[in-house]
Amino acid sequence: MSEAPLPEAPEKIRCDACPVMCYIAPGQTGACDRYANEAGRITRTDPVILLSHALEGGARIVPFAVRDWDGAPVPADSFVTGIGSGTTYPDYKPAPFIVSSRIDGADMVTVVTEAIFSYCGVKVKIDTDRFLGHEGAKVRVQGEVIGHVCTAEYGSQMLSLGGVHHLTGGSKAEGRITCDALLRLCNGEAVEMVVDHGSSVIVQAGQPPIVDGVPERRMRVGCGSATIGMFAVQWQGLVDEVVVVDDHITGVVSEHQAGKVLGWPPTGIRIKGHRSTPGRYFKVSEPGLGWGGTKLTDPLEILGEWNPKKGARPGLTLLMVSTTGEEFAYYVLDEALQPQRRDLPDALRTSVELIDENCEASLCTVLFMGGAGGSLRAGVTRNPVRLTRSVQGRVTRLTSGGAECYVWPGGGITFMVDVTRLPKGAFGYVPTPALVAPLEFTLARADYIAMGGHEDSIRTVDQTLAEGGEYPTAASVQPWPRR
């Protein structure tokens, strides 16, 4: 007896929206969760996002999705973003949306796409006085190296994360974990990372860092020397000596130029550290989680013997304070010229509170950085170098999800954008691994046509909303395996 014929198996369609080239079954999405097989066609799963000013007040920017459009007239200032638009890969074809508009009486064109970035990373600015790690130290997530510590910039410490070598140049685990960490950071999620020979830190854009389990509250007002310069006049007549403890530059008011200008008498104090210019000391302690970013829990450790020949005397008063005002102590020299701790006088408490008031809130800032060169430019113009020159010449305005970008000088289109200025969930990924970021190139229609732009693909906003966008594919078919 012959077997009954097998029913026709549903056919997979090959998606060429990225180099992974997934075969997607009907009703399923590819590995990126961004493209799906819908009734035998490859379609983008997320809606295109438009931006418009709020109706009330006119200042707040409001995102809304194309799929939520009810057919009503759209606001005249609507701006089509690259979020949810789809990509130009492989880049011989025009960008998914090339939208005409009229801005202040001028005919404009905005070319909208989602760009795939293997050459990308994030720059993280962490406002904290705590020690995170030495410059060049490796930064790890789940044990994999995803970047390194850069420089300390006043009250902030910088991390450089990602890049093509971490994404594609190491092990599969390194690339996967790097891509995941970058994606979560760019989409405003918290990521825990560990610095070699340093601290554990949880970073989330727009939130205070959590260092070794402790949420940070303040970044420092300045180094110890700068704090002396700002507040020396506040202490004059209230205390005999002030030391502002700092990992980088510890300040001593009686020796500092600010004190000299005010006529501050010498006190015979001695600081253990590398003396720089008068009143400024380097390396009073190793960096750590204590006073002023040092390892100190007892600030008296940085003091040597007091010199009575240079002004030290019983009863001399001393204020020691950190660069955030969070740590402070008040002392009086006894008969043996040893500092004895006393309660802080109310008159000095005001000055300590002033330091605290002048410290800004601790915050994590995440900037996405990518090189928008390569072949994605072919989705804008048939002569890609003209787009580069137009962006560099500021003829073309580059935005990411509607947010302003900083474009680096020099070759290519290398840009940075603050991820908190984009609508939520603006970034995606492909499993190559690489990040996907929205881009919009806006310029005068005449300039666009002159650079060799895809004139036949220009549509109005209304046409874009009415017709939508479908990812064009050759619909390569791969049948399900049969037994």
> No. of H helices and E strands in the chain?
8, 33
User: Which backbone phi and psi does 164 adopt, to 5 degrees?
Assistant: -65, -30
pLDDT at position 21, please? 83
Give the chain's mean pLDDT: 87
**Domain presence at residue 330:** yes
Query: Which residue type does 377 have?
Result: R
Q: Is residue 303 part of a domain?
A: yes
On whether the CB atoms of residues 224 and 231 are closer than 8 A, the answer is no
Domain termination site, one of 333, 357, 381: 357
Handedness of CA 225, 230, 234, 237 (dihedral sign): positive
Q: Could you say which DSSP state residue 54 is in?
A: -
What pLDDT, in 10s, does the model give residues 186-207? 999 999 999 999 999 999 999 9
Alpha-carbon distance 287 to 123, whole Å?
23
**Contacts with 363 (C-beta within 8 Å, 6 or more apart), sequence order:** 127, 206, 207, 208, 209, 219
Lowest pLDDT segment from 134-138, 262-266, 284-288, 318-322: 284-288
What's the domain count of the chain?
2
When pLDDT is cut at 50, 70 and 90, the band that residue 227 belongs to is very high
Residue 448's closest CA among 1, 23, 44, 108? Answer: 108
**CB neighbour list of residue 299: distance below 8 Å, 6 or more residues apart:** 243, 245, 291, 320, 327, 329
- Domain region containing 245: 224-357
Determine the average pLDDT of the residues in 96-108.
85
Domain membership of residue 329 (yes or no) is yes
**Residue 15's pLDDT band (boundaries 50, 70, 90)?**
confident
pLDDT digits (tens, 9 = 90+) for 275-314: 999 999 999 998 888 898 889 999 999 999 999 999 999 9
Question: Residue 76: which pLDDT band, with cuts at 50, 70 and 90?
Answer: low
In-domain check, residue 337: yes
Q: Is 482 contained in some domain?
A: no
Contact 247, 293 (CB under 8 A): yes
Question: For residues 431 and 243, which has the higher predicted lDDT (pLDDT)?
Answer: 243
**Lowest-confidence region among 20-29, 88-97, 139-148, 189-198:** 88-97
Q: Is 212 within a domain?
A: no
Q: What is the pLDDT of residue 64?
A: 45
| Chain segment 359-395, per-residue pLDDT in tens | 899 999 999 999 987 778 999 999 999 999 999 999 9
Residue 272 lies in a domain: yes
Per DSSP, the three-state class of 217 is coil
The alpha helices in 310-439, defined as continuous H runs, are 346-357, 384-392
Cα dihedral 190, 191, 196, 197, rounded to 10, equals: 30
User: How far is Cα 355 from Cα 223, in angstroms, rounded to an integer?
Assistant: 12
* Cα of 18 vs its chain's centroid, Å: 26
Domain annotation covers residue 165: no
